[in-house]
Amino acid sequence: MNNMNSMNLTPKQLRIFNFVRQFRRANSYSPTLQEIADELDVSKVTVFEHVEALVEKGALKRNANKARSLSECEGAVPADEEAGLSFPLLGRIAAGMPIERCAQDEKLRLEEIFGRTTARRGEMFALQVEGESMRDEGILDGDYVIVERRSTARSGERVVALLPNGETTLKSYYRERNGMIRLQPANPEFEPILVQDCTIQGVVIGVLRRY
């Protein structure tokens, strides 16, 4: 079994490998070079060069005369799956009143909660929820939210937002017509937070709960 780290893959090559693997699992066929380029926001030529390197290193295989033929080589396993999938646990996030940011040198290991699973794309981290302001969207006190690190968000997405006073909160993001930003709770007992500006630190892509 080939560990991806032992193959000396660059971060972008590892991301391409994982994307191809996950795309095939989700769709039962391989992505095109253009679809990979769109995912990574790079040129098709750049993707081609990385794919060639992945083929040479024994991570991917393909049939040059067949469309959508990219696939992982047998026995090639991403390092995160071999070691046990985990995310850095950066602290706790308020789903109520904002709280001060905190950082902890811990990891949230998913295999300890649910067993082995598949990582999603992009850099991710975990936060433990405190409070009930997102209750009606199924995010409860004590849950863990898995967050994809992003600096922008679409209207309605649940975000980790850094407020101008240095506090963070977990809310749904909306930009009002007057330019204000509304951070909307999902619990009628809480008022929305209205600010002129805030820093998006990430978008929630999943919720974990231990029973």
Catalytic residue, from 30, 57, 133, 172: name it: 133
Residue 183 or 77, more confident: 183
* Alpha carbon distance 55, 18 (integer Å): 14
Residue 38 phi/psi, 5° resolution?
A: -65, -40
Catalytic residue, from 30, 57, 171, 172: name it: 171
CB 121, CB 39: distance < 8 Å: yes
Q: Is residue 184 predicted with pLDDT exceeding 60? A: yes
Predicted structure pTM score: 0.51
Residue 22 or 184, more confident: 184
Residue 118 is predicted with a pLDDT of: 41
Q: Say whether 171 is catalytic.
A: yes
Residue 26 or 88, more confident: 26
Fold of 2-80: Arc Repressor Mutant, subunit A (1.10.10)
Q: Is residue 83 predicted with pLDDT exceeding 50? A: no
In 3D space, the residue among 144, 138, 82 whose CA is nearest the CA of residue 107 turns out to be 144
Residue 6 or 138, more confident: 138
Domain-by-domain residue ranges, the chain? 2-80, 84-208
Just give the CATH number of 84-208.
2.10.109.10
* Alpha carbon distance 90, 146 (integer Å): 11
In 3D space, the residue among 52, 53, 56, 58 whose CA is nearest the CA of residue 72 turns out to be 58
Q: Is residue 6 predicted with pLDDT exceeding 70? A: no
Q: Say whether 12 is catalytic.
A: no
Same fold, 2-80 and 84-208: no
